[in-house]
Amino acid sequence: MRTGELAGQAGVNAETLRYYERRGLLAEPPRNRAGYRDYPAAAVELLRFIKRAQQLGFWL
């Protein structure tokens, strides 16, 4: 799935995805032929887990 779709499903914005990639929390996805990031469906659950952990007081 593309960046905007993943961000919408996980309740974050696109810059958050890029930040998590830089920090190593989210693996950089492969790109499709058009150059768009192509995230796996499992990335949604990972992002929800990260956001929930933050709500519980954990730091990145």
CATH of 3-55, one of 1.10.3470.10, 3.40.50.2300, 3.40.190.10, 1.10.1660.10: 1.10.1660.10
- Is the pLDDT at 60 greater than 90? The verdict is no
Q: Tell me the per-residue pLDDT of 8-57, one tens digit each, with 9 for 90 and over.
A: 999 999 999 999 999 999 999 999 999 999 999 999 999 999 999 999 99
Q: SS3 breakdown of the chain: % helix, strand, coil, rounded to 5?
A: 55, 5, 45
Q: How many residues does the chain have?
A: 60
Residue-level pLDDT at 54: 95
Residue-level pLDDT at 38: 96
Distance CA 55, CA 16 (A): 15
Using alpha carbons, list the distances in angstroms from residue 28 to 13, 43, 56: 16, 11, 26
Helices vs strands, H then E, count in the chain: 3, 0
Residue-level pLDDT at 50: 96
